[in-house]
Amino acid sequence: QQPVQSPQAVILREGEDAVINCSSSKALYSVHWYRQKHGEAPVFLMILLKGGEQKGHEKISASFNEKKQQSSLYLTASQLSYSGTYFCGTESNTGKLIFGQGTTLQVKP
Amino acid sequence: ETGVTQTPRHLVMGMTNKKSLKCEQHLGHNAMYWYKQSAKKPLELMFVYSLEERVENNSVPSRFSPECPNSSHLFLHLHTLQPEDSALYLCASSQDWSRLAGGYNEQFFGPGTRLTVL
């Protein structure tokens, strides 16, 4: 079952914050976050394992609520370089890694 | 060469052709992956190889045939494709893969092969 990401698209000004959500109908073992810039390969951001932990990567952090089967990606004080499409991938007890449809983020000056 | 490389970068083929996509990783990783990325569709994991053994085949049609001759190289052999198979095919590698929960690690992606089937 494909995870659902929201919003589908977001436009920010530099310095603004954003939250991208990823929800699954299945119990999850892990959530993976990647960013893909236009015409480039996806780049790894972070993996969250079940346990409700929050991780950080520069000004990008994420949380994983195992009970709600949700993960959120937090982008604070956004920079132009944050523009791209963000994908979450979820791993459930089926052992499959399935990605969401992506959230397109555009940061404007 | 560093990271993950893919050749060719672009490929146009007819439905009756046979072609192969090549992926090479220079990271010393033990796991390699093939993904399909179509417009307006999510990233789809096709195959997973761990230590040269195919460990995942996510309901991919038999017209796609992967091959992993060693831990550094991965091929995707294509034959009698359909126009709907046109997409960006991405290769990735990771240090390891495990059947245990949380077995997927950080993946490093190649630039992809843009495939057009006429």
Report percent pLDDT > 70 for chain B. 98
Tens digits of pLDDT across chain A (109 residues): 899 999 999 999 999 999 999 999 988 889 999 999 998 999 999 999 876 566 676 689 999 988 889 999 999 999 999 999 999 999 987 778 999 999 999 999 9
CA distance A31 to B24: 26
Closest chain A residue to B41 measured between Cα atoms? A101
Q: Express each pLDDT in B95-107 by its tens digit.
A: 999 877 678 899 9
pLDDT at B43: 93
The mean pLDDT value for B33-55 works out to 92
Closest chain B residue to A101 measured between Cα atoms? B42
Q: Which residues, 6 or more positions from A38, have their beta carbon under 8 angstroms from its beta carbon?
A: A84, A85
Chain A residues lying within 8 Å of B44, measured CB to CB: 99
φ and ψ at residue A48, rounded to 5 degrees: -115, 125
Flag whether residue A101 sits within 8 Å of chain B, measured between CB atoms. yes
The mean pLDDT value for B4-29 works out to 95
Flag whether residue A95 sits within 8 Å of chain B, measured between CB atoms. yes
Contact B106 A47 (CB under 8 A): yes
CA distance B94 to A91: 16
Contact B42 A93 (CB under 8 A): no
Spatial CA neighbour of A90 closest among A23, A21, A10, A9 = A23
The mean pLDDT value for B43-58 works out to 91
- Distance from the A70 Cα atom to the nearest Cα atom in chain B, whole angstroms: 16
**Residue B78 · residue B13 · CB < 8 Å:** yes
Residue A94: both structure tokens together: 């089926």
pLDDT at B5: 96
Q: Provide the pairing of β-strand A9-13 with A103-108.
A: parallel
Q: What angle do CA A46, B73, B64 make, to 5 degrees?
A: 90
Q: Express each pLDDT in B59-114 by its tens digit.
A: 899 999 999 999 999 999 999 999 999 999 999 999 999 877 678 899 999 999 99
The mean pLDDT value for B23-31 works out to 96
CA distance B47 to B40: 21
E strands present in chain B: 4-7, 10-13, 18-25, 31-37, 44-50, 53-57, 64-70, 73-79, 87-94, 108-109, 113-117
pLDDT at A54: 67
Contact A96 B108 (CB under 8 A): no
DSSP assignment letter at B59: S
